[in-house]
Every structure is written in structure tokens, then in C-alpha cells.
Structure 1
């Protein structure tokens, strides 16, 4: 059977939405500093799946746009990683996709690994969130990890609207302080020669799940690493999902803060202090 596609018309340009659930990030390692993804140790009993998020355009060219580590246990992403490019004013289209490959019941005849539109391939799910989980939820938005605001073209914008790149986010926090934070990050990274970003979610283990299935967010966090004038500098951020405040801290302090939930090293190829960076070519100090 021909792979499932969804034709989306935007500004007279047609694209087919795709992604790949993979064994590792080898096909999309370009979105990590030095091609090395964060070192993540999930808590006991928590399953995760790497996803290379991509689009196939109307010329059948497959283009990778970012990477996501998705928890089929929590039914939210652990993180999405992307290369920040100078943002432009991009129109938004909220057509949300789901990931048929995450379901054991997917059509075994599908040779392509494709992202699908809501209501087509997957009507029920044991491994991922669906639009129906957000129905009648006034308190939570689908919070992008790779946000539309950080995209620089229509392809990237379209690819961000997949539920594997979103988690339930407090509506006020999403539209106020976290949105302002995303704008601050743009200002901080616009002058970088190159910048890598990892954005993630800490699930709230105590709060009621959305539709009794999907873990809601306790914290949103972001780690950035900017190359400028042959120097790497890093910055960490996190915000409690319901208090409209985003805190700024070092990468090391952010990693230490997250240890209460899980172990993660954002930029494993770089030291966390200037004194550890001995390479004369580049002082790799994302601290």
C-alpha cells in the first residue's frame, strides 16, 4: 500500500509530511553539537523513541529539520533538538500530525515511515498523544518544544506541528512568559555564527493526566550553545509551567536541577567550564 500522505496547501506550496522513528539519531545527527545527541538516562520503566523529523516536498525530496526524543510512556517528548537559524516572520498553520510508527497496529505493508494527519492512520493510541486528548481542555495548549517562532522557513514551520513535538502546557504560561522567553532567545542567538538548541519538558508525576493518558508539564526547559568569534557559550533556562516565570542559569546548573527527574547531558562533546577547554582551535565551553 502506498504510504500515507497528507497534502497541505500553504502559500501555493504543497508538502508531504514525514518523519522517521529510528533506532538512533544517525540520520539526523546534524542537529546536535558535534553530531552528538544529549546523553539521556530515562527513569526505570520509561520508554523512549528517537524520531528524525522531516518533510518530503512536492519533488519527493526528503528534508530533515530537527530531532525529537519521545517518551511513549509519558506520551510527551523528552526533548526536541534543532539548529537555530536567523528567524524570519513565518505564517503559522496548526495542522497537527501524529506518528503511526509508534503504534504496534500500524500497517505492516507501509514501507515508508511517515507522519500522518489526525483521524487517518491512528484513531486510538497506546503510545502517543492525540488531538482528542486535548479536547475540552481549557487549561492546556499544545506547547511546541521546537517553536514556530524559531523557524526560518515554511518547511520548518510545518514540521513543528506534530504531537511528538508538543506537550500539554499551561495556556497562560504558553502565551505569556514562555512566549516572551522564546523572543529573548531569538535576540540572544541572532548574532551567533551557529547555534544549537535543546528544548524539553519535565512531566508532572503528581498532576492528573490529560484525558487520563498524557502527562502534563511541570517544567519547560531550554539549553542553548552559541558559536561566535570562535568561542562556544551556553545558556540554560527553565520555567515552572504555572507561575509565569522563566529562570536563567548555567548549563551545568540546569543539568543538576533536572537530576531530580532524569539524568541528561545536553552537549556531551564540550566541557562545562572554561578551565576544562584546552583546544586552541575553539574554546568549547557551554557553561
Structure 2
């Protein structure tokens, strides 16, 4: 048993390759993704999918994943009005760890000691005060399949349980009210990494969660807003999109950071 645990936490070296954003432009405003962070093989583009009845990939959203911190940078999706119940069953992305597989799957279906080398696994959260905080939340999905697809650990980061179940949940529900009458709204939710890793020291905690939306009304006018939290009072701040992008530019230490490709102001 000790040997199995050690191999799970310290797997063999591998390099995975997952589906690039070019295969799922439908989740980005005008097909342009948010700024893609680049550092050798660290940041991986994932078109998040489940296999359909013909064993072909069915895409639901897109994630930029940080394989060093083992948390996502952001997930991008098209808002859907929710009407499905939550069903927790966490999955992983096999290709991140160099394992054959086109889409996310249950880790128990994979016979490999390499699982978890470049991504989080469920036991990373055991015994911590953190929730597996969704970026693309269940409350923004409209089908059973879309709901299931949000339950991959590449779409989650360690989020303080009080914030996750309190102010951030209220924020997610507020977007349901704002975007419910705008079915083609684009949403991006991201994580600013913190300074320490949880539990076994493999997965970086989230310092901030942020999100932004963009939609065009019937007159062709763009509407957008940005959000980030928790602030010093444990709440979610509302920002204009441009101010959020300036903040993210500093947090990610890049010259520019755009959420919607420099559009939707």
C-alpha cells in the first residue's frame, strides 16, 4: 500500500498532449481565446470533452491548465440556463499524464502509476479545509452531459470552503439572473494561484477566483463585467472588464492580459 501511495504522489516523468484550443473555438468570443500563458510545456490547452455514443469527442468548454501548480488558469464556456441536478463524480484528463485517451475519464479506469504527475487527483484534497472549486460551475449547465463534464479536476482548484459555498456561490447564481435572457453569453472563470500548496504539497491553493462575461444585445451592443474575490472582507468585487484585465496582467506577470481578445468593452 505504501508503495502505491508513493507512486501516486511521485509518478514517473512524462509529457502529455491534449486537444488545443483550435479544436474548440466555439467557447471563445469570435473564436479568440483569453491570453494564453506560455512557459515551455507547463501550460496545456484542453478542449474538455466526453466521448459520445459513437466514441467521438463531444466538447463542452475549454481550459488552460497549469501542470506545475496542478490547477487551471481559466475555463471558458458559453452560459447555459441551468436545470440539471448536481451529481459529484470526479474525473481526470489522462493525456496530461501521457496516458492514451481522447477525453476525461474516471481515474479508476486507468491502470497506470503515472496518474497525477501533471494534474491533481482526488486524494490531494483529503483532510484539507478546501473544496474542489469549479471554474465552469454546475449552475451554468443545462444538460446532464455538460454537468458531468464540469467534474474534472482540471476544472477545479483548492477554494476555501466558506468562500466557495458562500460569496462565490452567490456570485455564480447572480450570473444566472444576469445572463439567463442572453443565451449566447461567453463566460471565462479563472484562478490566481496563491503562495502555498495544500496537503501533500502538490496542488497550489487559489489566492483569488475571477470571472467575466460578454454578450451582445439585440441592437448589437456589447455588454461585459468582471469579478474577483475574495477581497479583505471575504466578498466578490465587481469591476469593469478593463480594470479586471489590468489586475490579471499584474497577477500573471505578463505585458497584457485580455479575457475576450481585446473586445467587449
TM-score (normalizing by structure 1): 0.79
Could you say which residue in structure 2 is the equivalent of 1:215?
204
1:208 and 1:269 map into 2 onto residues whose CA distance is 33
- Structure 2 spans left out of the alignment, 5+ residues: 1-16
2:41 and 2:194 map into 1 onto residues whose CA distance is 14
Q: Within the alignment, does 1:224 sit opposite 2:218 as a pair?
A: no
CA positional deviation for 1:99: 1.4
Q: Within the alignment, does 1:152 sit opposite 2:142 as a pair?
A: yes
Q: Within the alignment, does 1:132 sit opposite 2:144 as a pair?
A: no
Q: Give the secondary structure class of the aligned counterpart of 1:66.
A: strand
- Structure 1 spans left out of the alignment, 5+ residues: 1-19, 271-285
The answer as to whether partners of 2:49 and 2:103 remain within 8 angstroms in 1 is no
Q: How does 1:58-73 map to 2 (within 5 A)?
A: 58-73=53-68
Report the structure, 1 or 2, having the larger helix content: 2
Choose the corresponding residue for 1:37, options 6, 15, 33: 33
CA positional deviation for 1:127: 0.7
Could you say which residue in structure 1 is the equivalent of 2:48?
53
* 1:37-95 CA distance string (max 9 Å, x none): 112334x678100001112233435321100010101100000000112x132111111
More displaced, 57-66 or 27-36?
A: 57-66
CA positional deviation for 1:208: 3.8
Could you say which residue in structure 2 is the equivalent of 1:82?
77
Could you say which residue in structure 2 is the equivalent of 1:261?
251
CA positional deviation for 1:241: 7.7
CA positional deviation for 1:116: 2.2
Q: Within the alignment, does 1:199 sit opposite 2:194 as a pair?
A: no
The answer as to whether partners of 2:50 and 2:104 remain within 8 angstroms in 1 is no
The answer as to whether partners of 1:38 and 1:267 remain within 8 angstroms in 2 is yes
1:248 and 1:221 map into 2 onto residues whose CA distance is 10
Q: Give the secondary structure class of the aligned counterpart of 1:181.
A: helix
1:101 and 1:212 map into 2 onto residues whose CA distance is 23
Q: Within the alignment, does 1:185 sit opposite 2:155 as a pair?
A: no
Aligned-residue Cα RMSD (Å) equals 2.0
Q: Give the secondary structure class of the aligned counterpart of 1:82.
A: strand
TM-score (normalizing by structure 2): 0.85
Question: Which runs of structure 1 show a deviation greater than 6 angstroms over 4 or more consecutive aligned residues?
Answer: none
